[in-house]
């Protein structure tokens, strides 16, 4: 069935007034694996405009009901006896008052990025359910986990595994399938694929191969946590999981140092067995920032602990971390950032301070002027300090 997602369709009626009265019933016709769909339900299909002005009022009424624009649709007045249907469009099958003319396109399939629930199964969208049923294949991060979701919604589409440890080679195989005409849905264990996820590689390879990629919006843990955190939401940065504290210690510290100067709200994922260590590192580098710690999102026992980094450390010394966590951390204010930078500069000698600005591209005179302003002293004092350094 899914191959008809990429077909060219033209819907015609024996009376254009029927367009406004079609119900949502799916009509079976006399060709295996084919179906007539309501014209305004068709998705990912190119509509051709062939508008008959003499039935303008009826067509406009139908358009108003559908929400589509006229230029997105094609209506053929089948009352005309001399209706010329191009032979290259394939065959015509008539059922009741609907004529469906189609041919299968030679173009490749589509990659559908399908967001799945992060805890509450009711959060899945109707569109995602339909696509999961209609595609040729579902690429899942863990088929053992995803089969529970598919069984719950009675989805019988075949699955294949696509995860961190096979993402490069498997992506090539999946891209070849899409180039051959198959459409594939990408799902992760929970949430939106391709965000801090191996799906990023599959999307990249699809773009390189010219395969269409589309995303079906839905659940995302970091967005959910941010919206309930009570922290500033206009500007934020998503860091996902920090690098491993053992194998990537230098990279981890470099990122923490960058985050210490981040003015936007910071969002980090963390596993329960690493939570305390991460809180310690954040406290040691960022200071005692305000933080919201979210877990069990969308579930019955959802939690949002609003505290400080020191308060969080104290809490989890007495309470064992359980479940996956989303940390939403307050960014530093610009005023605080400026004060910290000045403090670092005041720890330098005057010659070091001048050299700091010259390394940033300032001329010596401009650097001396800037240092005098930073320190609240006259330029003569800066000049004298430089002379003493030389002497």
Residue with the larger pLDDT of the pair 2 and 326: 326
CB atoms within 10 A of CB 23: 5
Residue 79's domain comprises: 2-103
Average pLDDT over residues 317-338: 93
Say whether pTM exceeds 0.75. no
CB atoms within 10 A of CB 316: 17
119 with 145, same domain: the answer is: yes
151 with 52, same domain: the answer is: no
- Reported as a single tens digit per residue, the pLDDT across 234-278 is 999 999 999 998 889 999 999 999 999 999 999 999 999 999 999
**Residue/partner pairs of 330-336 with CB below 8 Å, 24 or more apart:** 330/231, 330/232, 330/265, 330/266, 330/289, 330/290, 330/291, 331/232, 331/235, 331/262, 331/263, 331/264, 331/265, 331/266, 332/260, 332/261, 332/262, 332/263, 332/286, 332/289, 333/263, 334/263
The pLDDT value given to residue 384 = 84
- Reported as a single tens digit per residue, the pLDDT across 114-126 is 999 999 999 999 9
Q: Reading across the β-sheet that carries 265-270, which strands appear in turn?
A: 236-241, 265-270, 325-329, 290-295, 303-308
Among 187, 219, 251, identify where a domain stops: 219
CB atoms within 10 A of CB 167: 19
66 with 137, same domain: the answer is: no
CATH number at residue 311: 3.30.950.10
309 touches 288 (CB < 8 A)? yes
Residue with the larger pLDDT of the pair 301 and 40: 301
φ/ψ of 31, rounded to 5, equals -125, 130
55 with 126, same domain: the answer is: no
CB atoms within 10 A of CB 74: 19
Banded pLDDT at 370 (limits 50, 70, 90): confident
CATH number at residue 150: 3.40.1010.10
Total domain count, the chain:
4
Say yes or no to pLDDT of 43 above 60.
no
98 with 179, same domain: the answer is: no
Banded pLDDT at 14 (limits 50, 70, 90): very low
């Amino acid at each position: 069935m899914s191959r008809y997602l990429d077909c060219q369709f033209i819907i015609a009626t024996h009376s254009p007034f029927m367009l406004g009265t079609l119900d949502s019933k799916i009509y079976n016709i006399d060709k295996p694996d084919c179906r007539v769909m309501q014209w305004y339900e068709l998705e990912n299909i190119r509509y051709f405009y062939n508008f008959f002005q003499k039935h303008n009022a009826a067509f406009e009424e139908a358009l108003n009901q559908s929400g589509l624009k006229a230029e997105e649709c094609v209506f053929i007045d089948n009352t005309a006896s001399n209706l010329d249907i191009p032979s290259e469009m394939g065959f015509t099958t008539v059922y009741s008052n609907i004529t469906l003319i189609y041919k299968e396109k030679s173009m490749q399939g589509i990659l559908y990025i399908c967001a799945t629930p992060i805890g509450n199964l009711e959060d899945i969208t109707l569109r995602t359910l339909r696509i999961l049923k209609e595609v040729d294949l579902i690429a899942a991060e863990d088929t053992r986990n995803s089969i529970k979701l598919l069984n719950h919604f009675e989805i019988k589409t075949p699955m294949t595994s696509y995860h961190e440890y096979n993402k490069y080679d498997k992506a090539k195989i999946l891209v070849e399938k899409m180039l051959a005409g198959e459409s594939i849905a990408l799902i992760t264990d929970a949430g939106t694929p391709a965000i801090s996820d191996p799906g990023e590689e599959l999307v990249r390879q699809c773009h390189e191969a010219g395969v269409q990629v589309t995303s079906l919006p839905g659940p995302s843990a970091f967005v959910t946590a941010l919206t309930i955190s009570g922290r500033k939401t206009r500007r934020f940065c998503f860091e996902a999981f920090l690098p491993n504290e053992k194998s990537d210690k230098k990279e981890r510290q470099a990122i923490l140092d960058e985050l210490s100067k981040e003015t936007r709200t910071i969002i980090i994922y963390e596993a329960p067995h690493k939570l305390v260590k991460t809180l310690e590192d954040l406290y040691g580098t960022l200071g005692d920032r305000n933080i919201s710690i979210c877990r069990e999102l969308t579930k019955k026992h959802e939690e949002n602990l609003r505290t400080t980094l020191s308060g969080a450390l104290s809490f989890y010394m007495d309470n064992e971390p359980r479940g996956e966590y989303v940390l939403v951390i307050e960014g530093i204010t610009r005023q605080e950032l400026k004060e910290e930078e000045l403090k670092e500069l005041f720890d330098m000698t005057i010659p070091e301070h001048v050299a700091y600005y010259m390394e940033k591209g300032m001329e010596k005179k401009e650097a001396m002027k800037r240092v005098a302003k930073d320190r609240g002293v006259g330029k003569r004092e800066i000049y004298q300090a430089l002379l003493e350094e030389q002497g």
